[in-house]
């Protein structure tokens, strides 16, 4: 936590009667304690996931993801258009932009862009692709490239 946040927390924890201070400290300890990862099956994950939740399913655990930046979205949109036009003109299959899950054996990832050939369109479900895409595009930001 930053210095301002630490100061504010200390002010809140030091105000009031001793019993109130103790209760606040216990509540803060609970709120700041690391949580256990949420474990579930892929089917449970799909039932839990709504269209506004940014999450992936990896080895039975839910991994929350961050919203995309404007440059990330611009690149994704550009690639979806370029690849999509080519795929459509040549009747090759379909291009699916995020958000759309791709279910693999031990994970359910959400790549930025999926291409599924016409031969594999039977894998496309209402809310996910059941198996690997023929092409996956994941846009990596400089901050997450390590």
pLDDT of residue 25: 75
Residues 45, 96, single domain; the answer is yes
Running DSSP on this structure, what letter comes out for residue 39?
Answer: B
Q: How many of the other CB atoms lie within 10 Å of CB of 30?
A: 8
45-64 confidence digits (pLDDT tens): 989 988 888 889 999 999 88
Q: How many domains does the chain have?
A: 2
| CA nearest to 111, candidates 69, 145, 65 | 65
Running DSSP on this structure, what letter comes out for residue 74?
Answer: H
Distances (CA, A) of 11 to 3, 22, 29, 31, 33: 12, 13, 16, 17, 20
Residues 23, 91, single domain; the answer is no
Considering the entire predicted model, what is its pTM?
A: 0.70
Q: Is residue 145 over pLDDT 80?
A: no
Residues 28, 42, single domain; the answer is no
């Amino acid at each position: 936590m930053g210095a301002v946040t630490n100061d504010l927390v200390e002010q809140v924890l030091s105000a009031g009667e001793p019993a109130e201070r103790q209760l606040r400290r216990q509540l803060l300890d609970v709120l700041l304690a690391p949580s256990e990862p949420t474990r579930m099956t892929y089917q449970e994950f799909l039932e839990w996931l709504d269209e506004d939740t940014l999450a992936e399913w990896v080895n039975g655990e839910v991994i929350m993801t961050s919203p995309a930046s404007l440059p990330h979205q611009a690149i994704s949109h550009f690639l979806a258009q370029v690849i999509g036009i080519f795929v459509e003109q040549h009747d090759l299959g379909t291009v699916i932009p995020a958000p759309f899950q791709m279910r693999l054996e031990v994970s359910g990832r959400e790549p930025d862009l999926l291409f599924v050939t016409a031969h594999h369109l039977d894998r496309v479900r209402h809310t996910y692709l059941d198996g690997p895409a023929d092409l996956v595009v994941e846009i990596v930001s400089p901050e997450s490239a390590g």
